[in-house]
Amino acid sequence: MITLSPLASIKVKEIMEKENKADWKLRMGVRGGGCSGMNYVLGFDNQVAEGDELFTHDNITLVCDMKSYLYLNGTEIDYEDGLQGSGFVFKNPNAHKSCGCGNSFST
């Protein structure tokens, strides 16, 4: 399962409303690259493909392709707002090593 922290849920809803995508889904995935081998991918999607994993959290539907889900099962998407910037943070129990920016990892 992939979940959202309470603050991440608020931020996702704010962005969805601002971009007029209130009925869309939040898609999370991974792709090769980055400092540590794989990058997190996060965006809005209005499509669901066969084999996608679907989760509903706080009235937000999260979608993840099956291949990415193998690396993301158990991940919590959080949102941090601090002096050094703000953005979504991925708390992935499957990541054995992450880069300093937190946007790439390896298993």
User: pLDDT tens digit string along 83-107?
Assistant: 777 899 899 998 875 544 445 445 5
Which of 105, 78, 107 is closest to 90 using CA atoms?
78
Residue 73 host element (H or E):
none
pLDDT at position 79, please? 95
Distance from C-alpha of 77 to C-alpha of 21, rounded to nearest angstrom: 19
Q: Which domains does the chain have, with CATH numbers?
A: 3-106 (2.60.300.12)
Query: Which pTM does this prediction carry?
Result: 0.82
Query: What pLDDT shows up at residue 101?
Result: 46
pLDDT at site 7: 96
pLDDT digits (tens, 9 = 90+) for 19-59: 999 999 999 999 886 555 788 899 999 999 999 999 998 99
CA–CA distance, 56 with 63 (Å, rounded to integer): 9
